[in-house]
Amino acid sequence: MAITTAEIARRFTPPATDPERAALKARICAKAAELALLVHELVPGSREQSIAVEAIETAVSFAHHGIDRRLTTPTERIAARAAEPVPAHDYDRAAAEAAVRPDPL
């Protein structure tokens, strides 16, 4: 089956995601679609054309996974900071250490 421009548009439409990641994924998809359309234009309909477009699709998929798995958005950083325990003051730490230290002879 020859790849159509409609199929390229379907394959390289960014997936639905939170707004903070959507812009990044849209930029990747736009550039990938541009490359896929160039392949479609320059390479005759063939197995090689299909493999080239699939390779671009794979690259986009891994890029999206990288964004989903590794990118920490500002909203997530704020939530993580709010969940962190408040650090103990030095006097609290000294009192805790003194409570478990054996008395010197």
**Inside any domain, residue 21:** yes
pTM to 2 decimals?
0.64
89 part of a folded domain? yes
- The boundaries of the domain holding residue 78 are 5-99
Q: Residue 94 — pLDDT band, cuts 50, 70, 90?
A: low
Average pLDDT, the chain: 82
Confirm if 61 and 6 have CB atoms less than 8 A apart.
no
- Is residue 39 situated within a structural domain? yes
Query: Is there a domain that residue 104 lies in?
Result: no
- Domain total of the chain: 1
Contact yes or no for 55/32 (Cβ under 8 A): no
Q: Is residue 105 part of a domain?
A: no
Q: How far apart are CA 103 and CA 86, in angstroms?
A: 30
pLDDT tens column, 44-64: 999 999 999 999 999 999 999
